[in-house]
């Protein structure tokens, strides 16, 4: 890897986070959803029905915070909650038709934003940009996993492995 100074890397990271923050603010204005909300809805789109603890683990949030988030999302009609018929302690979550409609709008909006921007590049540059974006995602996942490990927080795989089914 090329030698990069702390100052240069700091500036790159700052610009990236600043632009991500702007994009999140635009989404909040347009859809009334934070990126945490969008993350939750996208997870539910792929994993409905799921338990509250599954969503808390995915969002890396404590259960009480996810409960507050879910209260707002159910109030907006985006998420439905149902008690487990066998184990009443468990609540199952699913995306409502309105939640699915909104998340599809968000996805279409993001697709449009990025594809129209990528069209300004030639095919090779667009390919490199998409690959780089994927690599940035992998890098951030690695950093996040390292921070969780350093803090003594188990990885998802460890939590799932530790679950006991009665």
Please write the tens of the pLDDT for every residue from 107-166: 999 999 989 999 999 999 999 988 888 888 888 888 877 666 665 655 554 444 443 333
pLDDT given at position 88:
77
- How many domains is the chain partitioned into structurally? 1
**163 in a domain, yes or no?**
no
Scored b (16 or more CB within 10 A) or e, 66-78 reads: beebbeebeeeeb
**133 in a domain, yes or no?**
no
**130 in a domain, yes or no?**
no
**94 in a domain, yes or no?**
yes
pLDDT given at position 147:
61
Q: What is the CATH number of the domain that holds 76?
A: 1.10.10.10
Full domain range(s) for residue 89: 6-120
**What whole-number distance in Å separates Cα of residue 83 and Cα of residue 97?**
19
Residue 44 vs residues 70, 93, 100, 153: alpha-carbon distances, Å: 12, 7, 9, 23
Which pLDDT band holds residue 79 (cuts at 50, 70, 90)?
Answer: very high
How much is the pTM? 0.74
**145 in a domain, yes or no?**
no
**What whole-number distance in Å separates Cα of residue 80 and Cα of residue 74?**
6
**What whole-number distance in Å separates Cα of residue 99 and Cα of residue 78?**
4
**50 in a domain, yes or no?**
yes
């Amino acid at each position: 890897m090329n030698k990069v100074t702390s100052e240069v890397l700091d500036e790159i990271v700052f610009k990236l986070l600043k632009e991500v923050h702007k994009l999140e603010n635009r989404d909040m204005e347009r859809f009334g959803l934070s990126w945490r909300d969008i993350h939750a809805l996208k997870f539910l789109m792929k994993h409905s029905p799921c338990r509250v603890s599954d969503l808390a683990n995915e969002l890396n949030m404590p259960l009480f915070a996810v409960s507050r988030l879910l209260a707002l999302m159910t109030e907006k009609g985006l998420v439905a909650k149902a008690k487990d018929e066998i184990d009443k302690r468990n609540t199952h979550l699913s995306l409502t038709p309105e939640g699915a409609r909104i998340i599809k709008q968000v996805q279409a909006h993001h697709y449009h934003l990025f594809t129209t921007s990528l069209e300004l590049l030639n095919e090779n540059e667009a390919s490199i940009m998409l690959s780089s974006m994927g690599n940035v995602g992998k890098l951030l996942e690695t950093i996040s996993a390292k921070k969780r490990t350093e803090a003594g927080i188990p990885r998802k795989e460890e939590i799932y492995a530790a679950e006991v089914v009665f």
